[in-house]
Chain A
Protein backbone atom coordinates (compact mmCIF):
# COMPACT_ATOMS: atom_id res chain seq x y z
CA UNK A 1 0.00 0.00 0.00
CA UNK A 2 3.07 2.19 -0.13
CA UNK A 3 1.90 5.54 -1.51
CA UNK A 4 4.14 7.26 -4.01
CA UNK A 5 5.54 9.88 -1.70
CA UNK A 6 7.38 12.56 -3.64
CA UNK A 7 10.95 11.38 -3.36
CA UNK A 8 12.24 14.94 -3.26
CA UNK A 9 10.69 17.99 -1.75
CA UNK A 10 11.77 20.30 -4.54
CA UNK A 11 8.29 20.56 -5.91
CA UNK A 12 6.93 21.48 -2.53
CA UNK A 13 9.85 23.69 -1.77
CA UNK A 14 9.27 25.51 -5.01
CA UNK A 15 5.93 26.84 -3.87
CA UNK A 16 6.32 27.47 -0.19
CA UNK A 17 6.95 31.13 0.52
CA UNK A 18 10.49 32.01 1.48
CA UNK A 19 12.17 34.19 4.00
CA UNK A 20 15.54 35.83 3.75
CA UNK A 21 18.11 33.29 4.80
CA UNK A 22 20.19 35.69 6.82
CA UNK A 23 17.18 37.01 8.64
CA UNK A 24 16.24 33.45 9.44
CA UNK A 25 19.71 32.53 10.57
CA UNK A 26 20.14 35.61 12.68
CA UNK A 27 16.75 35.18 14.24
CA UNK A 28 17.57 31.70 15.29
CA UNK A 29 20.95 32.89 16.48
CA UNK A 30 19.30 35.56 18.56
CA UNK A 31 17.12 32.95 20.19
CA UNK A 32 20.06 30.76 21.05
CA UNK A 33 22.07 33.63 22.39
CA UNK A 34 19.16 34.77 24.53
CA UNK A 35 18.74 31.30 25.89
CA UNK A 36 22.40 31.24 26.73
CA UNK A 37 22.19 34.46 28.64
CA UNK A 38 19.01 33.42 30.41
CA UNK A 39 19.81 29.86 31.34
CA UNK A 40 23.55 30.31 31.77
CA UNK A 41 24.08 26.59 31.46
CA UNK A 42 24.88 25.07 28.13
CA UNK A 43 23.12 21.80 28.68
CA UNK A 44 20.09 23.66 29.96
CA UNK A 45 20.08 25.49 26.66
CA UNK A 46 20.33 22.22 24.79
CA UNK A 47 17.31 20.94 26.64
CA UNK A 48 15.38 24.11 26.01
CA UNK A 49 16.19 24.11 22.31
CA UNK A 50 15.10 20.53 22.02
CA UNK A 51 11.87 21.34 23.80
CA UNK A 52 11.20 24.27 21.52
CA UNK A 53 11.95 22.10 18.56
CA UNK A 54 9.53 19.53 19.84
CA UNK A 55 6.81 22.12 20.10
CA UNK A 56 7.51 23.21 16.57
CA UNK A 57 7.56 19.68 15.35
CA UNK A 58 4.18 18.70 16.70
CA UNK A 59 2.65 21.60 14.80
CA UNK A 60 4.80 21.38 11.75
CA UNK A 61 3.83 17.82 10.97
CA UNK A 62 0.31 18.75 9.99
CA UNK A 63 1.50 21.50 7.70
CA UNK A 64 3.96 19.06 6.29
CA UNK A 65 1.48 16.33 5.59
CA UNK A 66 -0.96 18.84 4.17
CA UNK A 67 1.48 20.51 1.82
CA UNK A 68 3.77 17.72 0.88
CA UNK A 69 1.06 15.28 -0.13
CA UNK A 70 2.88 12.49 1.57
CA UNK A 71 0.49 9.90 2.87
CA UNK A 72 1.14 7.20 5.42
CA UNK A 73 4.51 5.61 5.22
CA UNK A 74 4.72 1.88 5.44
CA UNK A 75 7.65 1.66 7.72
CA UNK A 76 10.22 3.63 9.61
CA UNK A 77 12.65 3.36 6.74
CA UNK A 78 10.31 5.15 4.43
CA UNK A 79 9.49 7.71 7.09
CA UNK A 80 13.12 8.56 7.49
CA UNK A 81 13.50 8.93 3.76
CA UNK A 82 10.54 11.27 3.59
CA UNK A 83 11.82 13.39 6.43
CA UNK A 84 15.23 13.63 4.88
CA UNK A 85 14.23 14.23 1.31
CA UNK A 86 10.95 16.07 1.65
CA UNK A 87 10.74 17.43 5.13
CA UNK A 88 14.15 19.00 5.35
CA UNK A 89 13.89 20.29 1.83
CA UNK A 90 10.52 21.79 2.47
CA UNK A 91 11.29 23.64 5.66
CA UNK A 92 15.04 24.04 5.63
CA UNK A 93 15.70 24.09 1.91
CA UNK A 94 18.31 21.41 2.17
CA UNK A 95 18.05 17.67 1.80
CA UNK A 96 19.53 15.22 4.19
CA UNK A 97 20.74 11.78 3.30
CA UNK A 98 19.69 8.76 5.26
CA UNK A 99 22.56 6.50 6.08
CA UNK A 100 23.90 3.80 8.27
CA UNK A 101 20.84 1.91 9.28
CA UNK A 102 21.31 -0.51 12.04
CA UNK A 103 20.52 -4.16 11.69
CA UNK A 104 16.89 -4.16 12.73
CA UNK A 105 16.10 -0.96 10.88
CA UNK A 106 15.04 0.96 13.95
CA UNK A 107 17.72 3.63 13.93
CA UNK A 108 19.38 5.59 11.18
CA UNK A 109 21.33 8.75 10.62
CA UNK A 110 20.14 11.84 8.84
CA UNK A 111 23.23 13.51 7.44
CA UNK A 112 23.13 17.17 6.50
CA UNK A 113 26.00 18.44 4.41
CA UNK A 114 24.95 22.02 4.81
CA UNK A 115 22.72 23.61 7.34
CA UNK A 116 21.29 27.12 6.99
CA UNK A 117 21.02 27.45 10.74
CA UNK A 118 24.72 27.63 11.30
CA UNK A 119 25.94 30.13 8.75
CA UNK A 120 28.48 32.39 10.42
CA UNK A 121 28.20 30.46 13.64
CA UNK A 122 31.31 29.56 15.49
CA UNK A 123 31.27 28.11 18.96
CA UNK A 124 33.28 30.18 21.44
CA UNK A 125 35.14 28.33 24.13
CA UNK A 126 32.52 29.23 26.64
CA UNK A 127 29.83 27.40 24.69
CA UNK A 128 31.59 24.14 24.01
CA UNK A 129 29.10 21.38 24.49
CA UNK A 130 26.29 23.41 23.03
CA UNK A 131 24.32 21.62 20.38
CA UNK A 132 23.57 24.69 18.37
CA UNK A 133 21.06 22.99 16.10
CA UNK A 134 19.43 21.03 18.85
CA UNK A 135 16.14 22.51 17.77
CA UNK A 136 16.21 20.31 14.68
CA UNK A 137 16.40 17.16 16.69
CA UNK A 138 13.49 18.44 18.68
CA UNK A 139 11.48 19.10 15.53
CA UNK A 140 12.07 15.64 14.17
CA UNK A 141 11.19 14.05 17.46
CA UNK A 142 8.03 16.07 17.82
CA UNK A 143 6.91 15.49 14.27
CA UNK A 144 7.44 11.77 14.43
CA UNK A 145 5.65 11.55 17.72
CA UNK A 146 2.60 13.03 16.05
CA UNK A 147 2.66 10.19 13.59
CA UNK A 148 2.87 7.80 16.50
CA UNK A 149 6.54 7.02 16.43
CA UNK A 150 8.37 7.50 19.65
CA UNK A 151 11.89 8.36 18.69
CA UNK A 152 15.08 9.43 20.31
CA UNK A 153 17.04 11.94 18.27
CA UNK A 154 20.64 12.73 19.08
CA UNK A 155 23.49 14.54 17.39
CA UNK A 156 26.29 12.32 16.31
CA UNK A 157 28.33 14.75 14.27
CA UNK A 158 28.31 18.51 14.37
CA UNK A 159 30.32 20.72 12.08
CA UNK A 160 30.49 23.35 14.77
CA UNK A 161 32.49 20.85 16.73
CA UNK A 162 34.80 20.24 13.86
CA UNK A 163 33.10 17.25 12.30
CA UNK A 164 32.65 17.07 8.57
CA UNK A 165 28.88 17.04 8.55
CA UNK A 166 25.79 17.19 10.67
CA UNK A 167 24.51 13.78 11.60
CA UNK A 168 21.27 13.28 13.44
CA UNK A 169 20.85 9.84 14.90
CA UNK A 170 17.17 8.94 14.88
CA UNK A 171 16.30 5.92 16.96
CA UNK A 172 12.84 4.44 16.88
CA UNK A 173 11.96 3.58 20.43
CA UNK A 174 8.49 2.22 19.92
CA UNK A 175 5.85 2.53 17.33
CA UNK A 176 2.51 3.17 18.93
CA UNK A 177 0.08 1.08 16.87
CA UNK A 178 -2.66 3.02 15.23
CA UNK A 179 -5.96 2.48 16.93
CA UNK A 180 -8.95 2.15 14.70
CA UNK A 181 -12.18 3.65 15.95
CA UNK A 182 -13.81 0.22 15.84
CA UNK A 183 -12.70 -3.08 17.26
CA UNK A 184 -12.15 -5.70 14.66
CA UNK A 185 -13.74 -8.69 16.35
CA UNK A 186 -13.60 -12.14 14.73
Chain B
Protein backbone atom coordinates (compact mmCIF):
# COMPACT_ATOMS: atom_id res chain seq x y z
CA UNK B 1 0.00 0.00 0.00
CA UNK B 2 1.36 3.35 -1.01
CA UNK B 3 2.19 5.62 1.87
CA UNK B 4 0.80 8.60 0.02
CA UNK B 5 -1.66 8.21 -2.77
CA UNK B 6 -4.04 10.90 -3.87
CA UNK B 7 -6.67 9.91 -6.39
CA UNK B 8 -8.55 12.50 -8.35
CA UNK B 9 -11.02 12.27 -11.15
CA UNK B 10 -10.91 15.25 -13.42
CA UNK B 11 -13.80 16.02 -15.68
CA UNK B 12 -13.23 16.88 -19.30
CA UNK B 13 -13.44 20.55 -18.42
CA UNK B 14 -10.62 20.14 -15.96
CA UNK B 15 -12.60 20.29 -12.77
CA UNK B 16 -11.98 17.71 -10.11
CA UNK B 17 -15.17 15.76 -9.67
CA UNK B 18 -13.88 13.29 -7.18
CA UNK B 19 -11.00 13.43 -4.76
CA UNK B 20 -9.76 10.89 -2.30
CA UNK B 21 -6.67 10.56 -0.20
CA UNK B 22 -6.16 6.84 -0.34
CA UNK B 23 -2.67 6.78 1.10
CA UNK B 24 -1.84 4.95 4.27
CA UNK B 25 0.19 7.83 5.59
CA UNK B 26 -1.50 10.13 8.04
CA UNK B 27 -2.93 13.04 6.11
CA UNK B 28 -0.98 16.20 6.67
CA UNK B 29 -2.63 19.57 6.56
CA UNK B 30 -0.67 21.02 3.68
CA UNK B 31 -0.61 17.79 1.74
CA UNK B 32 -4.04 18.45 0.38
CA UNK B 33 -3.24 21.55 -1.59
CA UNK B 34 0.21 20.31 -2.51
CA UNK B 35 -1.30 17.24 -4.11
CA UNK B 36 -3.84 19.31 -5.92
CA UNK B 37 -1.11 21.55 -7.22
CA UNK B 38 0.91 18.68 -8.53
CA UNK B 39 -1.99 16.92 -10.13
CA UNK B 40 -3.37 20.08 -11.58
CA UNK B 41 -0.01 20.88 -13.10
CA UNK B 42 0.29 17.36 -14.41
CA UNK B 43 -2.81 17.94 -16.50
CA UNK B 44 -0.63 19.83 -18.93
CA UNK B 45 1.53 16.82 -19.50
CA UNK B 46 -1.51 14.61 -19.82
CA UNK B 47 -2.81 16.92 -22.48
CA UNK B 48 0.39 16.42 -24.41
CA UNK B 49 0.48 12.71 -24.11
CA UNK B 50 -3.17 11.87 -24.32
CA UNK B 51 -3.47 12.98 -27.90
CA UNK B 52 -0.42 11.07 -29.02
CA UNK B 53 -1.40 7.68 -27.71
CA UNK B 54 -4.61 5.71 -27.86
CA UNK B 55 -3.79 3.77 -24.76
CA UNK B 56 -6.05 4.70 -21.90
CA UNK B 57 -3.50 4.06 -19.25
CA UNK B 58 -0.68 6.53 -19.71
CA UNK B 59 1.78 5.36 -17.15
CA UNK B 60 3.64 7.77 -14.95
CA UNK B 61 3.31 11.01 -16.83
CA UNK B 62 4.77 13.43 -14.35
CA UNK B 63 6.74 13.52 -11.17
CA UNK B 64 7.33 16.01 -8.44
CA UNK B 65 10.29 15.17 -6.23
CA UNK B 66 9.48 11.61 -5.21
CA UNK B 67 5.80 11.75 -6.08
CA UNK B 68 4.68 10.24 -9.33
CA UNK B 69 1.54 10.99 -11.25
CA UNK B 70 -0.07 8.15 -13.10
CA UNK B 71 -2.99 8.88 -15.34
CA UNK B 72 -5.76 7.00 -17.00
CA UNK B 73 -7.81 8.75 -19.64
CA UNK B 74 -11.26 7.52 -20.45
CA UNK B 75 -12.79 7.79 -23.86
CA UNK B 76 -14.83 10.74 -22.68
CA UNK B 77 -11.55 12.41 -21.78
CA UNK B 78 -12.25 12.13 -18.12
CA UNK B 79 -8.94 11.70 -16.40
CA UNK B 80 -8.21 9.51 -13.44
CA UNK B 81 -5.10 10.82 -11.83
CA UNK B 82 -3.21 9.08 -9.12
CA UNK B 83 -0.42 10.75 -7.22
CA UNK B 84 1.65 8.09 -5.56
CA UNK B 85 5.09 7.28 -4.34
CA UNK B 86 5.00 3.56 -4.84
CA UNK B 87 5.92 1.75 -7.94
CA UNK B 88 3.68 -0.94 -9.15
CA UNK B 89 2.44 -0.09 -12.55
CA UNK B 90 0.20 -3.05 -13.10
CA UNK B 91 -1.35 -2.57 -9.69
CA UNK B 92 -2.20 0.97 -10.59
CA UNK B 93 -3.35 -0.08 -13.99
CA UNK B 94 -5.86 -2.56 -12.67
CA UNK B 95 -6.91 -0.04 -10.07
CA UNK B 96 -7.69 2.42 -12.81
CA UNK B 97 -9.54 -0.14 -14.86
CA UNK B 98 -11.78 -1.12 -12.01
CA UNK B 99 -12.43 2.48 -11.12
CA UNK B 100 -13.36 2.97 -14.73
CA UNK B 101 -16.04 0.33 -14.35
CA UNK B 102 -17.42 2.14 -11.33
CA UNK B 103 -17.25 5.44 -13.09
CA UNK B 104 -19.26 4.14 -16.01
CA UNK B 105 -21.92 3.00 -13.58
CA UNK B 106 -22.00 6.48 -12.15
CA UNK B 107 -22.32 7.92 -15.61
CA UNK B 108 -25.27 5.69 -16.30
CA UNK B 109 -27.09 7.03 -13.31
CA UNK B 110 -29.59 9.29 -15.00
CA UNK B 111 -29.75 11.50 -11.95
CA UNK B 112 -26.05 12.22 -12.21
CA UNK B 113 -25.28 14.84 -14.76
CA UNK B 114 -21.86 14.33 -16.32
CA UNK B 115 -19.14 16.67 -15.19
CA UNK B 116 -20.74 17.30 -11.85
CA UNK B 117 -19.20 16.24 -8.60
CA UNK B 118 -19.52 12.57 -7.69
CA UNK B 119 -21.24 12.54 -4.34
CA UNK B 120 -22.16 8.90 -4.27
CA UNK B 121 -20.95 7.45 -1.01
CA UNK B 122 -20.87 3.91 -2.24
CA UNK B 123 -18.68 4.90 -5.13
CA UNK B 124 -16.35 6.41 -2.60
CA UNK B 125 -16.22 3.33 -0.44
CA UNK B 126 -15.70 1.09 -3.44
CA UNK B 127 -12.86 3.23 -4.72
CA UNK B 128 -11.17 3.18 -1.36
CA UNK B 129 -11.55 -0.55 -1.22
CA UNK B 130 -9.94 -0.84 -4.63
CA UNK B 131 -7.14 1.39 -3.50
CA UNK B 132 -6.54 -0.81 -0.51
CA UNK B 133 -6.54 -3.79 -2.79
CA UNK B 134 -4.24 -2.61 -5.54
CA UNK B 135 -2.07 0.22 -4.27
Complex interface: stretch among B37-45, B47-55, B58-66, B107-115: B107-115
Min C-beta distance of B120 to chain A, whole Å: 5
Closest to A30 in B: B110
| Residues on the B chain within 8 Å of A121, using CB | 109-111
B31 close to A (CB within 8 Å): no
A122 vs B110: C-alpha distance when bound (angstroms): 8
B105 an interface residue at 8 Å Cβ cutoff?
yes
Q: Chain B residues near A25 (CB, 8 Å)? A: 108
Closest to B120 in A: A122
> Which residues in window 93-114 of B have CB below 8 A to A?
105-106, 108-113
- The answer to whether B108 and A125 touch across the interface, beta carbons within 8 angstroms, is no
Most B CB within 10 A of own CB, among A22, A26, A120, A125: A120
Most buried by B among A28, A122, A123, A127: A122
CB-CB nearest in chain B for A31: B110
**Residue in chain B with minimal CB distance to A125:** B119
> How long is the Cα–Cα vector from A123 to B121 in the complex, in angstroms?
11
Q: Does A32 have its Cβ within 8 Å of any Cβ on chain B? A: yes
Q: B112 — which chain A residues lie within 8 A by C-beta?
A: 122, 124
Q: What size tier do the contact residues of chain B reach?
A: 10 to 19
Counting CB contacts under 8 A, is B34 at the interface? no
Q: Which of A22, A32, A36 contacts B108 (CB 8 A)?
A: A22
B125 interfacial by beta-carbon distance below 8 Å:
no
The reply to whether A32 and B119 contact each other, CB–CB distance below 8 Å, is: no
CB distance from B17 to the nearest CB of A (A): 13
For A124, what are the chain B residues with a Cβ–Cβ distance below 8 Å? Answer: 111-112, 119-120
Q: Does A77 contact B (CB under 8 A)?
A: no
Please give the distance in Å from B54's CB to the nearest CB on chain A.
Answer: 25
Report the separation of the CA atoms of residues A123 and B120 in the bound assembly, to the nearest whole angstrom. 9
User: Please, how many angstroms separate the alpha-carbon atoms of A16 and B105 in the complex?
Assistant: 28
B112 CB to nearest A CB, Å: 7
Residue of B nearest to A126 (CB): B111
B111 A26 Cβ-Cβ under 8 A: no
By Cβ-Cβ distance, the 3 closest A-B pairs, closest first, are A29-B110, A120-B108, A120-B109
A-B contact pairs, 27 of them (CB 8 A): A22-B108, A25-B108, A26-B108, A28-B110, A29-B108, A29-B109, A29-B110, A29-B111, A30-B110, A32-B111, A33-B110, A33-B111, A33-B113, A36-B111, A120-B106, A120-B109, A120-B110, A121-B109, A121-B110, A121-B111, A122-B109, A122-B112, A122-B120, A122-B122, A124-B111, A125-B119, A127-B111
